[in-house]
Amino acid sequence: MDKYTPQERAQIDPSSFFSPFRARKASGWPFLFHLLWSIKFELEPAALSLTKENQQLGRSEWPVFVIFFNVQGVFSKVTSCVGLIDEIKI
């Protein structure tokens, strides 16, 4: 068990703040995993609600345009995370 709280760990080693596993050094894999996980939660609710509407109307196509419009929000999250990482490295 880690003897530090997440806030204390982030002050000691800022890279651990971005890792979902609280690793000592943030490698590309934990950051990528966290990014993909956030994309999943960003897109899934809208896609599921639209799929339910399509089922009620008797349609069976996948709601691709919902994913297209939500990608913009995901990219803004990615760029803000990357900007934060660049600031910490400096």
3-class secondary-structure state, position 34: helix
Q: What is the DSSP string of 60-90?
A: ----HHHHHHHHHHHHHHHHHHHHHHHHHH-
Give domain limits for the chain: 28-89
CB of 33 within 8 A of CB of 20? yes
* Percent of the chain residues past pLDDT 90, beyond the cut: 0
Summarize pLDDT for 30-69 with one digit per residue, the tens. Answer: 666 666 666 655 555 555 565 566 666 665 555 554 454 4
Predicted TM-score of the model (pTM): 0.23
